[in-house]
Amino acid sequence: MAAPWEDVLRDAAAIREAAAVAVDAALLEGVLMRTEGEPNASDVVNFAPFTLLPSVVPQALFEQAYAVQQDFNLLVDAISQNKEFLERTLASTIKVDDFTARLFRIHMQVLEEGLAQSVFLGINRSDYMFDCGVDGTAALKQIEINTIAASFGGLTSRTVPVHQRVLKVLGKSKEASKLLPNNPSKGLAWGIAKAWELYGSPSAVVMFLVEKVQRNIFDQRCVENELWNRNIRVVRRRFRDVFEKGSLGEGRRLYMDGQEVAVVYYREGYVPKNYDQQNWEARLLLERSRAVKCPDIATQLAGTKKVQQELSRPGTLESLLPGRAEAVARIRATFTGLYSLDMGAEGDKIAATAIADPDRFVLKPQREGGGNNLYGEELRQVLEKIRDSPERTSYILMDKIKPQPALNYLLRAHSPLQVSECISELGIFGVYVRQDKEMVMNRAAGHLLRTKAVEHADGGVAAGVAVLDTPYVV
């Protein structure tokens, strides 16, 4: 589907002028990241990488992605409450993947003790690509759902005016007016604020649990500022702070530095390198508390790749969402082929198929954060090495989605201005709040479009591969 500004893509002078305007507009709007050299200092910052031009997104697929988000919210919440499903689905994975096993052990320990938490907050992002079929028709296909630390809801709230400015400079004012407003940071903060309110302690704070290296702090600040605007106090702490200064009081209320914590919003804790023994102990303390965790550990487990693969099996969605046939149909329509590598004849067969034709598939470990998936020759080598080992059960296989590339310019600090063949990935943010068994809030909260050059198989914005984008819906 051609963009209505293709005529200017080859006009070098116009593109140079637009790129200069774009960078200034990004800095003006706060599309910012800290630098690699000074990742914890805000006195040296640069613009977050982004596309010069918006990318075309088919309206029907855009609307489909929004329409199914509430269904995915319900599904993630249902999985998080289903101890037997998680236990059965992750049984093979936790034997070989220590990280998932440790999360699961904390989950079981907290359930045995009895949950102190009664309000549950989910902030997730369901990511899709537009798969181009043999007849050229694009279809919405889910890549994954992120249930912990789903990022860029803040910065993507600020890219629309940047792209509007660029289109106007290029003489495309009519097209600029068609860019849709988008403010996920407001939607995410709405969910956090509702959970804070239901917790029921007006003096309690919201704690952002953050990483040691915080290059993407401005993305978080967008959400944080929305909370301050609602007069909700926010503190930023690391696992180490929780280990050293966190405690549980009466009714397992969580205290940090003597302040009661109503909501813990995780922007870390999703990969093994986030944990040492002290951090695991801090995570257990948080999970045992009455505070609203976003996510609680069961919801983090609901986002694992093994769960994603299990959901594609016939009958699984129906068992998790009984009486919701329409929701099941909407969810299933977004699935691509997902395959188990469990030990046995089925796993042997799919492993052999992938080794013989690796370009058909993606090999996915149980990890978040981008840059973990394996493709092509690397996929084949790894599978050949582990094909007869139980280690293979820590991965799943997925059909490779093949979108139609489009031309764009990817703007990065200190990088030459050159046109690239690009593919895009659409994420829809979902927010839900449940109090005991009652769903109090369930909504789609905005979108994120990321674009990368076709030569980069895997990786997001934080991983340094994809860049921020704005959908031009047609």
What pLDDT was estimated at residue 20? 98
**144 belongs to the catalytic site:** yes
* Three-class DSSP labels, 36-52: CCCCCCCCCEEECCEEC
Catalytic residue among 253, 305, 380, 392: 305
Catalytic residue among 55, 124, 146, 182: 146
Catalytic residue among 267, 364, 367, 434: 364
**310 belongs to the catalytic site:** no
Indicate whether 341 belongs to any domain: yes
Indicate whether 136 belongs to any domain: yes
Indicate whether 86 belongs to any domain: yes
Within 8 A by CB and 6+ apart from 428, the residues are: 65, 66, 69, 125, 126, 128, 444, 446, 447, 448
Plot region of 171 (φ>0 → left; ψ -120 to 50 → alpha; else → beta): left
Indicate whether 288 belongs to any domain: yes
Catalytic residue among 30, 369, 376, 464: 369
**224 belongs to the catalytic site:** no
Domains identified in the chain, total number: 1
Low-confidence ranges of the chain (pLDDT < 70): 368-371, 457-464
What pLDDT was estimated at residue 372? 77
Indicate whether 353 belongs to any domain: yes
Q: What is the pTM of this model?
A: 0.94
pLDDT tens across 96-111, in order? 999 999 999 999 999 9
Indicate whether 246 belongs to any domain: yes
**450 belongs to the catalytic site:** yes
What pLDDT was estimated at residue 461? 63
Question: Which string of DSSP letters, residue by residue, matches 348-374?
Answer: HHHHHHHHH-GGGEEEEES--SSS--B
Catalytic residue among 73, 92, 122, 144: 144
C-alpha span between 344 and 309 (Å, rounded): 16
Catalytic residue among 34, 125, 141, 194: 125
Indicate whether 167 belongs to any domain: yes
Catalytic residue among 73, 92, 124, 151: 151
**125 belongs to the catalytic site:** yes
Indicate whether 1 belongs to any domain: no
- 368-392 burial, b at 16+ Cβ within 10 Å, e below that, comes to bbbebbbeeeebbebbeebbeeeeb
| Domain carrying residue 238 | 6-400+407-473
**290 belongs to the catalytic site:** no
pLDDT tens across 125-166, in order? 999 999 997 788 999 999 999 999 999 999 999 999 999 999
C-alpha span between 241 and 467 (Å, rounded): 32
